[in-house]
Structure 1
Amino acid sequence: MAHSHSVADLRVEDSGRPMIISLTVAVLVIAAAAVAAMALLWPAADDVPRGLDPYSAEGVTRVDAEVTAVDAVECGGGSVGPDNTPTLDGACGQITATTADGETAEMTLDPARFSAGIDAGDSITVLRIQPEGQTESFEFLDFQRGAPLAALTAIFAISVVLIARWRGLFAILGIGVTLLALTQFVLPAILAGESPLLVAIVGSTVIMIAVLYLAHGVSVRTTSALFGTLFGVAITASIGVLGTDLSNITGVGSEDDRLLLGTVPALDLSQVAAATMVIAGLGVLNDVTVTQASAVWEMRGFQPTASRRTVFASAMRIGRDHIASSVYTLVFAYAGSAMTVLLLVSAYQQNLAMVATTEEIGQEVVRTLVGAIGLVLAVPVTTLIAVWMVPDGIPEEAESNDAGPGYAGRRVAAPDHG
């Protein structure tokens, strides 16, 4: 009697021992090379530039406080600021708060911040300014967001674990590995003067090896997704360098970029821009490669007698749909993050095509296009790799003999190994 099974029946052993050994060696070599490169690029603490914290000047301290009173006051603000830049015209906010030390802090908020909303009972952080020999004063710094952010993080983690179970838990661990690699290696190494693009490639390789095997388990299928992802990283890095050079992207597109360059004068922000293209595309790239590898294994599970060409064609039909949705994802992600800039462009009634060529917007356009090209090319490559690695199905003759005359020619899935 014929049985119908899913991809779960395709065990690692079905790929053949020689292939398993070859893939294991290949992954270990790549991992060892990436870790060795990370060790060589790892900066000493003294090599990482340390800029002066603007809020750590002598006599300046940060203090937690709670708003006790909010009053609107006229502050004589105009509608035009320095360099003829428009500013919000309206009332200022007179804020009274009680600090954690029991002090009464009074401060004034400009119309823009005041109109954004602040109420009695809000938890805020203020600057206590008291230079030696002078009377203390207070300035509003920001709202305290630790508690709500922690609550959202907890809800996210619990939801992922409840629905995805162990795989979700390991995916969260993968996020931890990613943050650790970025904060402890990638960012310090770039600040220390190492090649931003090389650091991004090495860091991305280590992150992807750890994240993929943590979230999806050690298997031939995961390995095929890893190879596809590494190809995507390589092609994204190459096109990123080319796109940055041809578009004359300098990396100096905002006030933050200028502040960073002032803090680390030797930093090549053009290379940093190319490096961000590699890191920014990792999430979507990982998504499409894992999906394509899974699609190939599912196709083989449900069509064990199909040729590899047929499996490739079937998986690519899924891949084309995924490409379309992923490209939209990249565009929507940028549109959402740059909504303020886009609204300002619209308010100024500027030509969108002209604005797209400016440094600030052009950098994001190049980043989006480079990421999209990388993931588009990664889909067929990952599919080819997965089709090459996926185990063979049951030959048609064996299927017919096993199933009996009544089942000849019918499609069955992989044999039951359980």
Structure 2
Amino acid sequence: MAGRHAHPSSGSTPTSPKVLAAMAAVLCAVGLAMVALWPDGSTASGRPGAQQVNGVVDDVERQSCPASAEPQPGSPSAGAPGSTACGTAQVRLTSGPQSGNTFTVPLPSGVGAPQVSAGDEITLAYSPESSPASRYAILDHQRGTQLWVLLAAFALSVVAFGRWRGVSALLGLGVTFTVIMGFVIPAVLGGRPPLAVAVVGCSAIVLVVLYLTHGLGRTTTVALAGTLASLLLTGLLAAVSVSVMRLSGAGDESSFILGQSQGIDLRGLLLAGILIGSLGVLDDVTVTQAVTVDELARANPEFSARELYAAATRVGRAHIASVINTIVLAYAGASLPLLVLIVALDDPVRDILTDQLVATELVRSAVGTMGLIAAVPLTTAAAAFLARRPRSGVSPA
């Protein structure tokens, strides 16, 4: 009876030797794949002949803009913040080969240009091959201190609420960033296939993060299996959808520049982005389903595998209904400038939906949602099979 009252955490259910062997096999396969795809360090350089330096604005001298620089009334840039800024700034460099010296730098202009004042810490582009008058150009404000303060507040709030679970979640977040920045991005820049790199990178992330966050146990292993299976299915659906719709991956200016300057497979990069974007919600759904089945089995040991599956699937349906809205809102928020531009242009709906930018976002949302929907029955069925309990008076056979 004591076992009826001890509800362990999601990952503390004992794991059988067969499940441990399967987990070790997956871990070895992912490790070998990472070794095969590991970047060799031969990545292309960034902007040739230019580097970024830091500085502090000592003084700003604003001047009247010439008539040719003023936006015409009614034009899209009229009244836009930073659209007209004429004059110079005295900038004292704090890094770079000429650190400590002060230079006169023209104020940045154009839509979205940073507005600087005396005392601002800024970043500048340094082009040593340019003329002295245009050697430095103001890029943006420095935000290092503000970001560190925000990250510290974020970490403290997570630990204060989650305690040791919060600490493990932060460690898992660190692992995620390490894999993406240390393996995925360098491998893509090194010419490795982006889709294969994304599959292996996502598998490594989910292997480490799930066990680190939820513990080494049967439910975590079931969630891992469901996540990997759903991830592969999502990749297959994404590849088919992108191929059928003939999406090139060069939908925006940054992708186009990346393809030209680095020679990266933009279609593969698009597929990799879909996988990485789906992973965060996938592991949430699979862990929820695995834990739900385990808790139902503990609450009522008389439930058969079929009854466990049916009850947990009802929970999964409610979860998926809310997650779908989350996915759509996340993509809509990230693409809000594009949506505003589309409405402002007042194009026909058919032309809007078939545009490559919009079609790409629709593919992201649809493929990610179908992968999530598949994760529920896959994970629930595996968890119900492993957690089934024989009825009273009936042998396990």
TM-score range, shorter chain: 0.7 to 0.9
Q: Deviations over 1:155-190 (max 9, x none)?
A: 111111121111211111111111111122212222
Runs of 4+ residues over 6 Å off in structure 1: none
Tell me, yes or no, if the aligned pair for 2:11 and 2:220 is still in contact at 8 Å. no
Residue among 65, 71, 74 paired with 1:74: 65
Comparing 238-247 and 251-260, the one that deviates more: 251-260
1:183 aligned partner: 181
1:107 aligned partner: 106
Q: Secondary structure at the match of 1:96?
A: strand
Name the CA distance, whole Å, in 2 between partners of 1:12 and 1:131: 62
Describe how 1:64-143 pairs up with structure 2 within 5 A: 64-66=55-57, 68-69=59-60, 71=62, 73-76=64-67, 77-79=69-71, 86-88=76-78, 91-94=84-87, 96-99=89-92, 100=94, 101=100, 103=102, 105-113=104-112, 117-128=115-126, 131=129, 134-135=132-133, 138-143=136-141
Q: Secondary structure at the match of 1:7?
A: coil
**Structure exhibiting the larger radius of gyration computed from Cα positions:** 1
Name the CA distance, whole Å, in 2 between partners of 1:333 and 1:153: 21
Name the CA distance, whole Å, in 2 between partners of 1:36 and 1:9: 31
2:226 aligned partner: 228
1:112 counterpart letter in structure 2: V
What percentage of aligned pairs have identical amino acids? 32
Q: Secondary structure at the match of 2:302?
A: coil
1:44 aligned partner: 40
Name the CA distance, whole Å, in 2 between partners of 1:70 and 1:178: 46
Comparing 198-207 and 300-309, the one that deviates more: 300-309
Name the CA distance, whole Å, in 1 between partners of 2:21 and 2:172: 23
1:62 aligned partner: 53
Q: Secondary structure at the match of 2:107?
A: strand
1:410 aligned partner: none
Comparing 105-114 and 142-151, the one that deviates more: 105-114
1:72 shift after superposition: 6.4
Name the CA distance, whole Å, in 1 between partners of 2:374 and 2:30: 23
1:229 shift after superposition: 0.2
Q: Secondary structure at the match of 1:51?
A: coil
1:284 shift after superposition: 0.5
2:373 aligned partner: 376
1:117 shift after superposition: 4.9
Name the CA distance, whole Å, in 2 between partners of 1:91 and 1:133: 24
Residue among 342, 347, 372 paired with 2:344: 347
The answer for unaligned runs of 5 or more in structure 2 is 95-99
Residues 3/359 of structure 1: CA separation in 2 closer, same or farther (3 Å cut): closer
1:9 shift after superposition: 8.7
Q: Deviations over 1:191-217 (max 9, x none)?
A: 222222111111111111001001111
1:378 shift after superposition: 0.6
Aligned length: 382
1:107 counterpart letter in structure 2: P
1:213 aligned partner: 211
1:66 counterpart letter in structure 2: V
Tell me, yes or no, if the aligned pair for 1:7 and 1:300 is still in contact at 8 Å. no
Residues 140/339 of structure 1: CA separation in 2 closer, same or farther (3 Å cut): same
Describe how 1:7-406 pairs up with structure 2 within 5 A: 7-8=7-8, 20-46=16-42, 48=43, 50-53=44-47, 56-57=49-50, 62-66=53-57, 68-69=59-60, 71=62, 73-76=64-67, 77-79=69-71, 86-88=76-78, 91-94=84-87, 96-99=89-92, 100=94, 101=100, 103=102, 105-113=104-112, 117-128=115-126, 131=129, 134-135=132-133, 138-265=136-263, 267-390=264-387, 392=389, 396=392
1:137 shift after superposition: 5.2
Q: Deviations over 1:309-351 (max 9, x none)?
A: 2221221111011101111111111110111111111111223
Q: Secondary structure at the match of 1:378?
A: helix
Name the CA distance, whole Å, in 2 between partners of 1:107 and 1:337: 32
The answer for unaligned runs of 5 or more in structure 1 is 399-418
Comparing 170-179 and 183-192, the one that deviates more: 183-192
Q: Secondary structure at the match of 1:281?
A: helix
2:200 counterpart letter in structure 1: V
Tell me, yes or no, if the aligned pair for 1:7 and 1:302 is still in contact at 8 Å. no
1:8 shift after superposition: 1.9
Residues 72/286 of structure 1: CA separation in 2 closer, same or farther (3 Å cut): farther
Q: Secondary structure at the match of 2:56?
A: strand
Comparing both chains, which one has the higher relative contact order based on Cα–Cα distances under 8 Å and sequence gaps of 6 or more? Answer: 1
1:244 shift after superposition: 0.6
Name the CA distance, whole Å, in 2 between partners of 1:29 and 1:202: 14
Name the CA distance, whole Å, in 2 between partners of 1:343 and 1:206: 38
Residues 109/12 of structure 1: CA separation in 2 closer, same or farther (3 Å cut): closer
Tell me, yes or no, if the aligned pair for 2:11 and 2:218 is still in contact at 8 Å. no
Tell me, yes or no, if the aligned pair for 1:64 and 1:125 is still in contact at 8 Å. yes
1:403 aligned partner: none
Tell me, yes or no, if the aligned pair for 1:93 and 1:111 is still in contact at 8 Å. no
Residues 328/209 of structure 1: CA separation in 2 closer, same or farther (3 Å cut): same
Name the CA distance, whole Å, in 2 between partners of 1:11 and 1:105: 61
1:374 shift after superposition: 0.4
Q: Secondary structure at the match of 1:253?
A: coil
Q: Secondary structure at the match of 1:73?
A: coil
TM-score (norm. length: structure 2)? 0.87
Name the CA distance, whole Å, in 1 between partners of 2:381 and 2:59: 64
Residues 185/131 of structure 1: CA separation in 2 closer, same or farther (3 Å cut): closer
Residues 125/233 of structure 1: CA separation in 2 closer, same or farther (3 Å cut): same
